[in-house]
Structure formats: C-alpha cells, structure tokens
Structure 1
C-alpha cells in the first residue's frame, strides 16, 4: 500500500470518528421535552388556589375554588378534573381545554370552571369511567351522577340515595350500573360491610351475597371491581357475582390493603397500605404479587397512563417500577420534607417525566423518566400539594 493511500485512509478514519463522536454528543445532550398537550393541575394544601400548568412552555395560571384545601381527580377522558371538598359539601369541575380523540388531541376553548356542581353531604369518593362520573357522598350515602358531556350545560349533578350514611365508595360498570357499598351494622363504626349493585335511579339490580368485616378501598376495570376488606379482596362482577379471596399470610388482616387502584395501561389492580407496602392483585387467578414492602412507604400509585407504578417513601425517595415486570426502573432520594395532613408530597407521571409536589418548598420537582438524576423545579406560589395530569400525553396532533 502506497504512502499516499495510507494518508487518505487515515484522513477518512479521522473524519468518520469525528462524525460519530459528534452524533453521540448530540444524543447525550438532547433535551427531553414534555408533550404538547400535557397539562398539570395542582391544588394548594391550605387555600383555595388551583394552579394550572403547561409544562411544555412553563405557562401557569391560577384559579380560585369555592373552598380551601381540595382533593382533585381526573375524569376518564382527562379533559376535566373533579375538585372535591368534603368538609364543605361541595364538588366542582375544571375544564383543561384539551380534548383527546384516540390518537390525537385538540384545544377546546380555554381552561375554565365548568357549570356543574354537586352539593351533597360529605362527598368523598370520586369515580369516572367512559362518559360517566359518580361521587359517593358519605353524609347521606348518596351518589352524585353526571356525564362529562353535560358538565357545561347541567347546573347540578343528579342526586341518588343508595343506602344509610357511612364511609363508602362507588365503582362504575361499563353496563351502566354502579357497585356501591352497603352498611348492615354488623360491625361498629363508619365502614360498610357489603356491596350491592344499583342502577342510575338507585334501584337494586343485584343484592349483596358476601359479608365482610369492613370495606375500604376499591377500583374497577369496567366489568370487575375489587374492594379492600379486613379479610381479603372482595371481587364483585357486573353480573352480580361476588367472592372473597383471603389475603395471603404475607399481607394478613393487620396489613390489609385499604387503597385499591386500577391501571388502564397495564390492566392491573394495585393494592396499597401506607407504612406497609404495595401488591398487584389479580382477580382472574386470585393471586397477589408483591411490588414493594417498607415501613416508611407513603404512597404507591400508577402513572397517569396507568402503566407503571410510582412509590414515594417518607424519606423523600421516589421509585418507579415497571407495571409489567414489577422490576424497579429508577430511584432517587429528593430533598423534600414530609409534613402531615395536606402537607404531604404528591406524585404523578407522564410518559416523559415524573412530577413530585413539595408543599413546604413551594415547588414541583420534575424528574426525567429515563434518568432521575436529570431534574428541574417548577416554582408554584403557596403550598402546592395534590397534583394530577390532565389533557393528553401527545407531542402533537395525531402523534404519541
């Protein structure tokens, strides 16, 4: 090989190496951005402020609720949020202004309060499936019922009494019926012992067939509902079939899973108890699979897609688990302080980011899902506490 040819080969190699290095550097420094139609809604821990955030461009706007210290829940479509104030017997609805249509989304007007309110006694449990919204009111064991498409035209929800007053819950089935808790007074206290199925007028369609020693926590996939009980998980199907599956010894009655979630993206049920742990519940084969147990666990929830599982520990540690394999994907310890009551950090996640509220710090901490070490902060006035994702997790119209 001649000296001239060797020279050209060396120059070519250097050029290719430099080009590859430039591409690698570009990939390493590429900035991950939030999707265009994602919105965050944040409720203050102490006052009436509801903060609406577009994390893509950083824009914020504040809205004043009727009362202070609200709980907030996304509707099934995520266009609206239910703003629940139990202490003041009031539920209102907030419109994000983003309407999703399967694989694309549109801006639909501006962010604003919807017309509909619910005024029943002690609204506590919020549930949404398809177009249906139902709130269980502890004060008179009633349902406040409305459909999403009427939130700007119907002044008040429909009020349907289904039982005697108790600390209850509702699950909406896809066939238009409702699984509601029932108090038979076989145990003392406010917790119910049974579940029955009613229609939209409160008429009983299927009576209870299983008695428990107390129910708290529930979720459903449209056809099957799981209720957390002292003895195990109560499985209720839309056709009225009921069965009680005892907790395994690892859980036991002392640690019964009193909070239940359903993740639409993973098609899994998640059972949780603070200071104990989280388990995936399978009502098909009656199995229980541990996600995590820890005596300092504060919350375990699905991300906004209902796919992966977010865990928050009392020392500020955030963990992300795969909803399919249950393998831990990410973990980081944040410098956040845990208060009590409403001053407890809250967490949600989109496809690209995890968001953790820091009420005492007046901020939301944003973690990149691919690398929790990459984080930024969104300053929010007051004491930002509860947080949910609204809108649609799309980067553009027609794209995921």
Structure 2
C-alpha cells in the first residue's frame, strides 16, 4: 500500500513539475537587460510651452516641472547628475538636478528632482560643455564664457561667472582640457559671417596662453577627450593640443565643399566621429590622420553616440535606426522603428540612447518612444508634453544603490 502511495505521489509531483517547467518556458523571467538602468532618467522639454517632463524609463512614469522658457537646448553634465537648459533667445541658462550622485560602484540619492538655484545670464549662451564638476557656455552675443561649479548649483542667487577672453561676438565654441586650460574659438574677420576661423588656448581668467597658429575658412562643431580637442572646419579637421600645437586632418578626396559641422566623442570606445548631412558619418583617427566612412549616406536625420560612448546610433529620414559598435567597427543592428520623416519637416524626431534603449521623440503626438536595442519590436510609448522639442539622458548607468 505504501509503495503504491509513494508511486502515486511521485507521479503527481512529476506532472506538476513538468507543468511548471512548461509554464516557465511560455513566460520566461524577464532578464535585467529588458529594463533600463535604475538610475537613468530622460529629460524632455517642449517647443511651445514651459513644460518639462522627467521620465523614469524603468517605471514608465513622468514627473512634470516648469522651466523658465520653452524651446531650450538640453544637455547633461559629465557626471550625469544635472541637466542644463540653454536658452540663447532669452539669455538664460538653468540647471535641473536628478539627485543621482555617482560613486563608482554605487549611486546615492540626494533629495528629490528639482531645478537648481544657480542660473546663467550671459549674452546669447549657445555652446555648452561640461568637464568634471564644471559647466561652461560660450556666449555668442559678445564672445565671452560663463563658468560655474556644480557645488554652487543650489546656492540661492548664484550666477555663472563671466570670463572675457578678448573675443568679439561670433558663433563660437569651447572645450576644456584635463590640465584645466581651455581651447576657444576666435573670430579674426578674415571670413564673412558669424563663424570663427581660429582657436587659441586660454586659462580660467581668460588670459591667452597660446595664440592660434592655423587659420581656417570657418569652424563649427567640436569635441574633446581631455587630451586633445577637435574642431570641425571647412579647411579640414582642426586638431588642437593643450601645448598650443595645431594641425589639420584633410577631409576625404570626394568631399568637395562638404565638411564636418558636428564632431562627436565616443568616450567608451576612445574615438571621434565627424558628421555632415552632405556626406554622412565618418571615423576620425587622430593618430593615423585618416577619415573613413562609418555610414556614407545623405539620408541621415541624426547621428548620436550612446550614453556610455560605445556605439554610434544613426536615425535615417526613412525611419530606420542603425547601431554601430565603435569598438569593433561593426554594424550591431538595423531596423525600421518610426514612420518616415520628410527632410523639410520643421520639427523632426530627436534621438538619444543608453546601452539598453533608444529614445526617440514624436513631436506630432507628444510621445517619447523607448525602443529595446536588442529587439526593435519592443517599443514603449510614453506620453510627455504636446510638442516635445529636445531630450537628454541623465543619471548613471547603474542599478546599485548605497
């Protein structure tokens, strides 16, 4: 009797175990990579209203805030904690605090998300850079810089400090080197228009340390890895070192009058990318002094390096996204993710990405799309504001708290 009872119980247990296995196979546990990092946030502003949307891409929830002005350019600081809203039309810069403070192996939460007290009121702030704990804008209206430390962001009444480097008004740019000096554009008037022609090295007071040694026919777009700075130029890619040494890397022979108006740094891969709508996206090798195509295509709507700086993401007007692994120089994934966008569309979708997800705004329906980088068919739609304008990834790619 006991023997038959044991066999019966064993059989029942085996049936339940197999059924449980079948059920698990049908509904496998979602791996961590299917969710965004816990301490990542997406900041989205609006074209026509002051509304700011802070998106939690894990919970797919949105917190609303109000900026001083609509239609600002959005940036993130190097450490990831703060976002910058730069509004050149109204001479205003303000900063948003996620509260996420990275400590290498973990992240601390410092209070709740909110705007900082510090503001910038330079003359037409346009170009923004962040280095370590410092933020910098180049003010096109008078050629000055505005500089601030993150430690002052919550000091009541604090203002960004204006630095006069002896410049005239122009559509300029700046980078900061690891040694604390700055490479700043100079307008010498040799070329008509607002674009500068030269770059010089200054210190934090604005004093010239190394004057320009090369003149170009116009500069726009730049990036740095802290050791060397690259500036897009119609005369070639201008490479500037902290010592004041300068040289030009020639464009490919078939470029004609085309040149890189955007230079991107891929920190994780240790590389630079040049982009021009007239030709496409290209890898710039500052050691070999070569420029080679990543994607030679005139249908590119946006080209962005992901948050970790390992991949280049390209969004075509056709609605296709291509992901390139910059460490191996290979195509990781391609696929259509949104409907086609006309090249003459006034407000186009905007792209940013983390290691795990691609984020694209939809200006016509007020949505932010969260698209899985491993499976483009996995799309979440998050309602933000009526006419999303720009977006920025903030925070730290980590799930570890203190």
TM-score over 0.5 for the alignment?
yes
Match of 1:117 in 2: 119
**Aligned counterpart for 1:219 among listed residues 213, 218, 223:** 223
Q: TM-score, normalised by structure 1?
A: 0.91
Q: Secondary structure at the match of 2:80?
A: coil
Q: What is the RMSD computed on CA atoms of the aligned residues?
A: 2.2
Deviations 1:204-251 (CA, angstroms, capped at 9, x unpaired): 01110111111111000011000010021000011111111111214x
2:397 to 378, 390, 393: 393
> 1:7 is matched with which residue?
none
| Aligned 8 A contact 1:336 1:361 in 2 | no
Q: CA deviation at 1:337?
A: 5.8
For residues 162-210 of structure 1, the C-alpha deviation after alignment (integer angstroms, 9 at most, x for no partner) is: 2111110000111111100001111111111100011111100111011
Cα deviation for residue 326 of structure 1 reads: 2.7
Equivalent of 2:234 in 230, 243, 265: 230
**TM-fit CA distance, 1:66:** 1.2
SS at match of 1:87: helix
TM-score where L is the length of structure 2: 0.90
1:200 maps to: 204
Q: Distance in 2 between matches of 1:275 and 1:344?
A: 18
Aligned residue number for residue 88 of structure 1: 90
1:328 has 2:345 as partner: no
CA offset at residue 318 of structure 1? 1.6
Matched ranges for 1:302-317 at <5 A: 302-317=305-320
Structure 1 CA distance for aligned equivalents of residues 168 and 362 of structure 2: 39
1:168 maps to what in 2? Answer: 172
CA distance in 1, matches of 2:224, 2:256: 22
Is 237-246 or 333-342 further displaced after alignment? 333-342
2:302 alignment counterpart: 299
| 64 and 29 in structure 1: CA distance in 2 versus 1, 3 angstrom threshold | closer
Match of 2:73 among 71, 74, 86: 71
**Counterpart secondary structure, 1:146:** strand
Structure 2 residue 121 is the aligned partner of structure 1 residue 152: no
How far 1:45 moved relative to its partner?
Answer: 2.0
Partner of 2:347: 343
Q: Deviations over 1:35-60 (max 9, x none)?
A: 21111100112221111111111221
Unaligned runs of 5+ in 2: 1-10
Large movers: runs of 4+ above 4 Å: 13-31, 339-342
Asked if 2 retains the 8 angstrom alpha-carbon contact of 1:230 and 1:253, the reply is no
Check if 1:255 corresponds to 2:253: no
Determine whether 1:277 maps to 2:296. Answer: no
Instruction: Give me the whole-angstrom Cα distance separating, in 2, the residues matched to 1:28 and 1:58.
Output: 19
Residues 47, 253 of structure 1: alpha-carbon distance in 2 compared, 3 angstrom cutoff? farther
Q: 1:308 and 1:128, CA in 2 relative to 1: closer, same or farther beyond 3 A? A: same
Runs (5+) with no aligned partner, structure 1? 1-10
In 2, the alpha carbon distance for the partners of 1:356 and 1:75 equals 20
SS in 2 for 1:372: coil
Query: Which moved further from structure 2: 335-344 or 314-323?
Result: 335-344
Does the Cα contact within 8 Å between 2:337 and 2:376 map onto a contact in 1?
no
Shift of the 363–248 alpha-carbon distance from structure 1 to 2, 3 Å rule, reads: same
How many residues were matched structurally?
386
